[in-house]
C-alpha cells in the first residue's frame, strides 16, 4: 500500500516535470504535434483506486500542469474529464473474473489490445477536450481535431515507450 | 431527509466530478483576467524557481546566438548614433527632454517560453521588485514580443504575440495605414495583419511597425515585413501575411518597455472626452 502510494507520488512529480521542462520545449511539426505524456499518471493509477480519488488526483495533476503552463483550468478540466472517462472505461473493460488486485493497468499485465483500447480512448478524450478549450473557438474545427488526433497518437507512442523503458517486469524476467 | 443523504452518498462521484469541473471551468473562464490566477501561473515563485533552474542548465546552449544578437544590436546602435550626430553636424544634438524620456527599457532574461502552442507565454526573471506590472510591453532585439500579463516579486509572465488573446494595433510604415496584428497562422515565424482596406496598395516587403499610443509599445517599433497579400473577392479588406521580425522560438534577452508619458496622455484624453 505504502509502496503504491510512494510510486504514484513519484510518478506524479516526475511526469509533470518531464512534461513541463522537456516535452513542452520540443517543437514537433510546428505545433501540429504536442504530446502530453503526463496523462500517463492517470492511466497508471491502480485498479483499486477509489473513484473519488481518481477524480481528485486527476484534478491535482491538471492543476500542477496549469501552474507550469499558466493556463488556469485548462489542463485541470481536461484531466477531470479524463478521470471520469477512466472510471467508465474501467467499468466497460472489466474482465469476466474482475480485476486481479495483483495486476496494474499496464501492457505487461493486461495485454496490448486491452491497453490500446483503454489508453487510446482516454488519451483521445483528454486531448480533444484540451485542444478545443485551448483554441477557444470553433471556426477551424477540422484542423483542431487533426491536431488533437495527431498529438494523441504521439502521446500514446510515448506512453508505450515509457512502459517499455521503465517497466521492471521486463528487466527482471 | 435520510433518502436525500442516501441519494447524495450514492451520487458522490458524480457530484465530485461536477464540483471539480465547476472549479476548473470557473478558473478557465474567469482566471485569465483575475488576479488570483497568479497562484496558478508560472509567475508563481515556486514554478518560477523551477524554470530558473532549467534555464541555468540550458542557458549555455544558446549563448552563441545571444552573443551574436547583442553584437549586432550594438553595431546597429552605433550606426544610429553616428547617423544622428552626422545629421546635425558638429553641433551637440539637442533632444527635447520630454521626448527623450518618453520610454524606459529594462533588460530581462527569458527563463521559459513556448512558441508552438495555441497560446504561448514567456516567463521573465524580473518582477514587481523591478517595477514590472501588468500591461507593459515587451520587445526583443528585432521586434515586439508580447505584453506582461502578470508579475510576482521576482518573475513576470508575458502573453506572447503568438496567441489569440490580444490583437495589437500596427501600421504599414510606408503608407501609414493601420490594422490589427493577429496570430492565426499557427506558425511561430508568421502572423496576419487584418482590417487594411483594399484600396491601400500593399507590396511584399513593406515593413510593419507598431502604431504606438496604446501604452504598450513605442510608435514605429518593428513588427515584421509583408510576405504575402491575398485578396478574397468577398471581402473589403486585404489579408496580409507578415514575417515576424522577432524570432520567438529563441530565448535570450528582451526589453520591458515603460511608457513614462502614458498617464499624461491618458489624462489628456480623459479630459477631452468630458464635455
Three-state secondary structure string covering A75-127: HHHHHHHHHHHHHHHHHHCCCCCCCCCCCCCCHHHHCHHHHHHHHHHHHHHHH
Show the domain range for A145: 2-172
CB contact under 8 A, B37 and A72: yes
Give the span between the Cα atoms of B114 and B163, in whole angstroms: 11
Instruction: Give the burial class of B149: count Cβ atoms within 10 A of its Cβ; 0-12 exposed, 13-18 middle, 19 or more buried.
Output: buried
Per the DSSP assignment, residues forming a β-bridge with B222 are B209
- Say yes or no: B158 and B118 in one domain: yes
Which residues of chain A are within 8 Å of residue B25 when distances are taken between CB atoms?
Answer: 73, 77
pLDDT of residue B42: 67
Tell me, what CATH number does B142's domain have? 2.40.10.340
B236 and B129 both lie in a single domain: no
Domain identity same for B260 and B227:
no
Report how far residue B181's alpha carbon sits from residue B164's, in angstroms, rounded to the nearest whole number: 10
Tell me, yes or no, whether B78 and B211 share the same domain: no
**pLDDT value of position A34:** 86
pLDDT tens for A77-132 read 999 999 999 999 998 888 888 888 788 888 888 888 899 999 999 999 999 999 88
In this prediction, residue A173 carries a pLDDT of: 38
Written as tens digits, the pLDDT of chain B (275 aa) is 778 888 777 788 888 889 998 888 888 877 555 445 556 666 677 888 888 888 888 877 777 777 877 777 777 776 666 555 444 444 444 455 555 557 778 888 888 888 888 888 899 988 889 889 888 899 888 889 999 988 888 899 999 998 888 888 898 888 888 888 988 887 888 899 988 888 888 888 889 998 877 778 888 888 999 998 888 788 888 889 999 988 888 767 888 888 877 777 778 878 877 65
One domain, residues B82 and B154: yes
**CATH of residue A129:** 1.10.1760.20
Q: How many domains does chain B have?
A: 3
Residues of B in contact with A80 (CB under 8 A): 17, 20-21, 24
At B37 the pLDDT is 53
DSSP label of A9: H
Cβ atoms of residues A50 and A21 within 8 Å: no
* B47 interaction partners in chain A (CB closer than 8 Å): 67-68
Contact A31 B40 (CB under 8 A): no
B157 touches chain A (CB under 8 A): yes
Compute the distance between CA of residue A153 and CA of residue A146 in angstroms, rounded to an integer.
Answer: 11
Domains in chain A, number? 1
Count CB neighbours of A45 within 10 A: 21
Q: In B, residues 190-229, which contact A (CB 8 Å cutoff)?
A: none
- Distance CA(B121)–CA(B112), nearest Å, equals 8
User: Do B152 and B69 lie in a common domain?
Assistant: yes
Which pLDDT belongs to residue B118? 80
Greater confidence (A60 vs B198) lies with A60
pTM of the model: 0.73
Quick one: pLDDT at residue B259? 81
- Are residues B119 and B255 located together in one domain of the fold? yes
Residue A29 pLDDT: 73
Burial class (CB in 10 A: 0-12, 13-18, 19+), B148: buried
Q: Which residues pair with B121 in a beta bridge?
A: B159
Residue B177 domain-assigned? yes
Cell of A119: 489508453
Say if B206 falls within a structural domain: yes
ipTM of the assembly?
A: 0.80
- Is position B97 within any domain? yes
A84 with B17: Cβ contact below 8 A? yes
Share the mean pLDDT of chain A. Answer: 86
Range of the domain at B179: 168-244
Instruction: Look at B92 and A167; give whichever has higher pLDDT.
Output: A167
Amino acid at each position: 500500500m505504502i509502496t503504491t502510494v510512494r510510486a504514484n507520488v513519484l510518478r506524479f512529480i516526475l511526469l509533470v516535470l518531464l512534461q513541463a521542462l522537456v516535452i513542452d520545449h520540443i517543437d514537433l511539426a510546428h505545433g501540429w504535434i504536442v504530446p502530453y505524456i503526463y496523462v500517463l499518471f492517470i492511466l497508471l493509477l491502480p485498479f483499486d483506486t477509489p473513484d473519488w480519488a481518481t477524480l481528485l488526483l486527476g484534478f491535482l495533476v491538471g492543476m500542477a500542469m496549469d501552474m507550469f503552463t499558466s493556463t488556469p483550468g485548462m489542463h485541470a478540466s481536461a484531466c477531470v474529464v479524463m478521470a471520469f472517462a477512466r472510471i467508465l472505461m474501467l467499468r466497460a473493460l472489466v474482465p469476466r473474473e474482475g480485476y486481479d488486485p495483483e495486476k496494474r493497468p499496464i501492457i505487461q499485465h493486461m495485454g496490448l489490445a486491452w491497453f490500446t483500447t483503454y489508453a487510446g480512448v482516454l488519451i483521445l478524450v483528454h486531448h480533444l477536450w484540451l485542444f478545443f478549450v485551448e483554441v477557444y473557438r470553433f471556426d477551424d474545427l477540422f484542423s483542431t481535431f487533426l491536431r488533437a488526433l495527431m498529438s494523441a497518437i504521439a502521446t500514446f507512442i510515448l506512453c508505450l515507450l515509457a512502459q517499455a523503458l521503465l517497466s521492471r517486469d521486463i528487466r527482471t524476467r | 431527509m435520510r433518502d436525500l443523504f442516501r441519494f447524495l452518498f450514492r451520487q458522490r462521484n458524480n457530484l465530485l466530478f461536477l464540483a471539480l469541473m465547476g472549479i476548473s471551468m470557473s478558473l478557465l473562464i474567469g482566471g485569465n483576467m483575475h488576479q488570483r490566477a497568479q497562484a496558478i501561473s508560472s509567475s508563481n515563485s515556486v514554478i518560477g524557481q523551477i524554470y530558473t533552474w532549467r534555464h541555468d542548465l540550458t542557458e549555455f546552449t544558446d549563448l552563441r546566438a545571444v552573443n551574436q544578437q547583442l553584437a549586432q544590436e550594438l553595431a546597429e546602435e552605433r550606426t544610429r548614433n553616428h547617423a544622428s550626430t552626422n545629421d546635425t553636424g558638429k553641433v551637440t544634438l539637442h533632444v527635447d527632454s520630454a521626448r527623450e524620456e518618453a520610454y524606459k527599457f529594462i533588460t530581462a532574461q527569458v527563463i521559459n517560453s513556448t512558441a508552438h502552442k495555441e497560446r504561448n507565454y514567456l516567463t521573465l526573471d524580473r518582477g514587481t521588485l523591478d517595477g514590472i506590472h501588468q500591461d507593459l510591453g515587451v520587445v526583443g532585439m528585432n521586434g515586439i514580443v508580447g505584453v506582461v500579463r502578470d508579475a510576482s516579486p521576482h518573475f513576470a509572465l508575458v502573453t506572447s504575440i503568438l496567441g489569440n488573446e490580444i490583437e495589437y494595433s500596427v501600421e504599414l510604415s510606408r503608407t501609414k495605414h493601420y490594422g490589427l496584428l493577429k496570430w492565426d497562422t499557427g506558425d511561430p515565424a508568421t502572423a496576419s495583419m487584418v482590417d487594411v482596406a483594399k484600396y491601400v496598395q500593399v507590396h511584399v516587403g513593406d515593413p510593419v511597425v507598431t502604431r504606438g499610443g496604446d501604452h504598450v509599445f513605442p510608435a514605429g517599433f518593428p513588427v515584421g515585413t509583408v510576405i504575402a497579400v491575398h485578396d478574397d473577392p468577398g471581402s473589403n479588406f486585404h489579408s496580409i501575411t507578415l514575417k515576424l521580425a522577432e524570432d520567438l522560438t529563441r530565448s535570450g534577452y528582451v526589453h520591458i518597455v515603460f511608457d513614462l508619458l502614458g498617464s499624461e496622455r491618458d489624462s489628456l484624453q480623459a479630459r477631452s472626452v468630458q464635455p
